[in-house]
A and B are shown apart, each in its own frame.
Chain A
Amino acid sequence: QKEVEQNSGPLSVPEGAIASLNCTYSDRGSQSFFWYRQYSGKSPELIMFIYSNGDKEDGRFTAQLNKASQYVSLLIRDSQPSDSATYLCAADTGGFKTIFGAGTRLFVKA
């Protein structure tokens, strides 16, 4: 059974701090990894994706991938209250199949 695991949280950080969200995956054949943000009552929206080992930065967001450890993370710098949401980690396991973790709830306190 291919799985993506995340700590459900909640993760609480003060405004302006760095929020660190983590994820592990079981399928070594997975090539691409995705971070989605989902506000309460809304649909998931893609923040960024990564497929090479190392870091990928996009504005205040940095995704990190370590394929040897089967580990993906998302760092949010200068966290804002508007970043409060559930963050879903996902892995493309091939054949158009993307599997999601259960999500980590993030609260950014003003």
Chain B
Amino acid sequence: DTAVSQTPKYLVTQMGNDKSIKCEQNLGHDTMYWYKQDSKKFLKIMFSYNNKELIINETVPNRFSPKSPDKAHLNLHINSLELGDSAVYFCASSQDAPAGVLDFGPGTRLTVT
């Protein structure tokens, strides 16, 4: 029973391409997130959706566009990929309180060449 799942697990692509990462949770949580973890393991929040509404939009290039078709799904589309986008992207979900109790997906390792 996978609680938070992401696809794909690995993504290798060239600069300039467009790619998407998909996330699904079966926990019935109301809030979903995208976090980026760089090579130094620093985990930084990018976006958050609560019941399909965008509630957190950090200082992220507008090449990144999240979409939540329903509260169980959150996708991330990235346009015009750059070398600096290489990282592990984690999807997570949480119930209302405390919001920091996060269930993370397995991560998507994105490598831009």
Do A and B actually bind?
yes
Residues of A participating in the B interface, judged by any CB pair closer than 8 Å: 31-34, 36, 38, 42-46, 49, 51, 86, 88, 90-92, 95-100, 102-103
Listed stretches B12-20, B70-78, B94-102; interface member: B94-102
- With A43-B105, A43-B106, A90-B100 as known contacts, state yes or no: A100 contacts B43, CB within 8 Å: yes
Partner pick for B48 among A42, A88, A96, CB 8 A cutoff: A96
Q: Is the CB of B102 within 8 A of A98?
A: yes
Give chain B's interface residue range (CB within 8 Å of chain A).
20 to 34
Q: Which of A32, A97, A102 has the most CB of B within 10 A?
A: A97
Q: Is the CB of B43 within 8 A of A44?
A: yes
Which residue of chain B is the closest to A99 with respect to CB atoms? B45
- With A96-B31, A97-B48 as known contacts, state yes or no: A32 contacts B41, CB within 8 Å: no
Q: Is the CB of B98 within 8 A of A92?
A: yes
- With A96-B31, A96-B94 as known contacts, state yes or no: A102 contacts B42, CB within 8 Å: yes
Q: Is the CB of A91 within 8 A of B100?
A: yes
CB distance from B28 to the nearest CB of A (A): 16
Q: Is the CB of A32 within 8 A of B98?
A: yes
- With A43-B106, A96-B31 as known contacts, state yes or no: A102 contacts B98, CB within 8 Å: no
